[in-house]
Amino acid sequence: MANAADKKIGFIYIGPPGDHGWTYMHDVGRKYMEDQLGDSISTTFIENVPENADAVRSIRKLAETGHDLIFTTSFNYMDQTLEVAKEFPDIKFEHATGYQRLDNVSTYSARFYEGRSVIGHIAGKMTETNTIGYIVSFPIPEVIRGINAFYLAASKVNPDVKIKIIWVYSWYDPGKEADAANTLINQGADIIVQHTDSYAPCQAAEKAGVLAFGQASNQEAFCPNAHMTAIEDIWGPYYAAKAKLS
Amino acid sequence: MLGKKFSGTPINGLSPYYFIIGSFLLVILVHHILYKTRIGLIVRSVGENHHSAFALGYDVIKTRYLTIMFGGVMSSLAGFYISICYAPMWQEGMTAGRGWIALALVVFATWKPYRLLVGAYIFGGVAIMQMNLQAFGVKLPGQIFTMMPYIATLVVLVFISSNKLRLKLSAPSSLNIPFEKNQ
């Protein structure tokens, strides 16, 4: 049971923990942290927080309810995190994948581009139509960096490779993601790569009999034949280390 | 936890063809009932002027509840389609706000079933077209593509509402007016 002396750690999620992608892996990280630190911490999360002014309210709510450390787990929470952090200088904030910091705001990310490079290599070797479909969310540094790393590695092993890109302007919209995957497959893509959070594209690939990569977590359960491999985001050890320090 | 966990469970999808054929049949059926049968006449009269309908002896409150329930059944069919055919899975929040489009479509269609069909296909068509254009590599900023379905809706809405009389004539005149017996 939590008591007043415990450290309280809060999380802001962009999607539901049940997305089996990005948010799911942050939630797995949060649970890992709880297991590692046991009763000395208690955690709270707010899910489905939109990346607009509403995020300020959610972050402020965590700050006002006595949280010592707050993780905001999406790129577009950057300005909102800084805004709340200025009001609460004694609380520590950790913002995922951004580039602006303050004394009490730090940035954490992963070298996703290394994973993108590996799957780019695989895709370059595996494609038969030399066309790869890539579903992307927003034009932010992390996403663009991912496309470039993927393309560089793919074109190195297969100079004829072409990448078709569809921007869906959403992190999580299974319907739109499935539509994008089907459009790309209809236009000759035989490998589907995604930088959105649901497993709908992988499932669409499974249905069409083409190949795909999982996103953020192992999604083999949803597309056993299409799924080649996935970049898995393992946040747990970082979360646990930060919780110990705070 | 009791029972089976559905979140993240793969669903053996149904072929969408049954739904597509069924949706056309439903629109024809609803149009027929609304404009060609006695039930339709009662439903429309309750929507146009509930006091007159009441004076003629129709149960306004019962009719309204039943029609709302019918609307609920239709919406649930749409939800069923999303999680069984469109993206065969169940994940929280997977409609991603799509239900609002249904509301816009009703205004767009000025409460006429056949126009609703046209509106739905314009919206869906533009949504798919923008993805095809993107994949073909048309050089336009992605934001413009994503805006397309909404721009199309706005343009048609502006066109429809440019004539106030037309809008007034098509919307049920007792829309949003609560019914009270003793007035």
* A16 in contact with chain B, both atoms CB, cutoff 8 A: yes
Asked if residue B122 has pLDDT above 90, the reply is no
In chain A, the residue whose alpha carbon lies closest to the alpha carbon of B93 is: A16
Q: Give the total number of structural domains in chain A.
A: 2
Segment B125-157, tens digit of pLDDT = 888 888 899 888 888 887 888 888 778 778 877
On whether both A50 and A135 belong to a single domain, the answer is: no
- Look at residue B170 in the predicted model and tell me its pLDDT: 74
* Residue in this structure with the two tokens 């069923």, named with its chain if needed: B80
DSSP string, B102-159: HHHHHHHTTT-HHHHHHHHHHHHHHHHHHHHHHHHT--S-HHHHHHHHHHHHHHHHHH
On whether both A20 and A66 belong to a single domain, the answer is: yes
Q: Looking at the domain assignment, is residue A228 inside a domain?
A: no
Q: Looking at the domain assignment, is residue A128 inside a domain?
A: yes
Written as one letter, the residue type at A24 is: Y
Task: Check: CB of residue A142 under 8 Å from CB of residue A109.
Answer: yes
Two tokens, residue A76: 């577009």
To the nearest whole Å, the CA of B80 is away from the closest chain A CA by 13
Give the residue, B168 or A243, on which the prediction is more confident.
Answer: A243
Q: Verify whether the Cβ–Cβ distance B145 to A15 is below 8 Å.
A: no
Q: Verify whether the Cβ–Cβ distance A167 to B145 is below 8 Å.
A: yes
Q: Looking at the domain assignment, is residue A184 inside a domain?
A: yes
Written as one letter, the residue type at A50 is: P
Q: Looking at the domain assignment, is residue A94 inside a domain?
A: yes
- Look at residue A1 in the predicted model and tell me its pLDDT: 44
Task: Check: CB of residue A238 under 8 Å from CB of residue A29.
Answer: yes
* B96 in contact with chain A, both atoms CB, cutoff 8 A: yes
* A105 in contact with chain B, both atoms CB, cutoff 8 A: no
Task: Check: CB of residue A180 under 8 Å from CB of residue B128.
Answer: no
On whether both A83 and A172 belong to a single domain, the answer is: no
Task: Check: CB of residue A15 under 8 Å from CB of residue A47.
Answer: yes
Kindly compute the dihedral angle of the four CA atoms of residues A78, A82, A85, A91, in this order, to the nearest 10 degrees: 40
- Contact residues on chain A for B131, CB-CB shorter than 8 A: 166, 179-180, 183
* B135 in contact with chain A, both atoms CB, cutoff 8 A: yes
To the nearest whole Å, the CA of B98 is away from the closest chain A CA by 9
Q: Looking at the domain assignment, is residue A229 inside a domain?
A: no
On whether both A121 and A198 belong to a single domain, the answer is: yes
Q: Verify whether the Cβ–Cβ distance B96 to A174 is below 8 Å.
A: yes
**Cα A213 from Cα A216, distance rounded (Å):** 10
Per-residue pLDDT of chain A (246 residues; tens, 9 = 90+): 445 558 999 999 998 888 888 999 999 999 999 999 988 899 999 999 998 888 999 999 999 999 999 999 999 999 999 999 999 999 999 999 999 999 999 999 999 999 999 999 999 999 999 999 999 999 999 999 999 999 999 999 999 999 999 999 889 888 999 999 999 999 999 999 999 988 999 999 999 999 999 999 998 888 999 999 999 999 999 999 999 987
Asked if residue B28 has pLDDT above 70, the reply is yes
* B12 in contact with chain A, both atoms CB, cutoff 8 A: no
How large is the average pLDDT for residues B116-120? 89
Segment A62-102, tens digit of pLDDT = 999 999 999 999 999 999 999 999 999 999 999 999 999 99
Q: Verify whether the Cβ–Cβ distance A184 to B82 is below 8 Å.
A: no
Q: Looking at the domain assignment, is residue A2 inside a domain?
A: no
Segment B74-114, tens digit of pLDDT = 989 988 888 888 888 777 777 877 877 888 888 778 888 99
On whether both A200 and A241 belong to a single domain, the answer is: no
On whether both A163 and A174 belong to a single domain, the answer is: yes
- Look at residue A126 in the predicted model and tell me its pLDDT: 96
**Cα A106 from Cα B76, distance rounded (Å):** 45
- Look at residue A2 in the predicted model and tell me its pLDDT: 46
Two tokens, residue B60: 């306004």
* A221 in contact with chain B, both atoms CB, cutoff 8 A: yes
* Best residue of A22, A167, A193 to probe chain B, by most B CBs closer than 10 Å: A167
Q: Looking at the domain assignment, is residue A220 inside a domain?
A: no
On whether both A116 and A105 belong to a single domain, the answer is: no
On whether both A39 and A87 belong to a single domain, the answer is: yes
Range of the domain at A197: 112-215
- Look at residue B165 in the predicted model and tell me its pLDDT: 73
Q: How many residues are given for chain B?
A: 183
Look over chain B and give the mean of its residue pLDDT values, rounded to a whole number. 84
The CATH number of the domain holding residue A66 is 3.40.50.2300
Task: Check: CB of residue A183 under 8 Å from CB of residue A202.
Answer: no
Asked if residue B17 has pLDDT above 90, the reply is no
To the nearest whole Å, the CA of A106 is away from the closest chain B CA by 30
Q: Looking at the domain assignment, is residue A223 inside a domain?
A: no
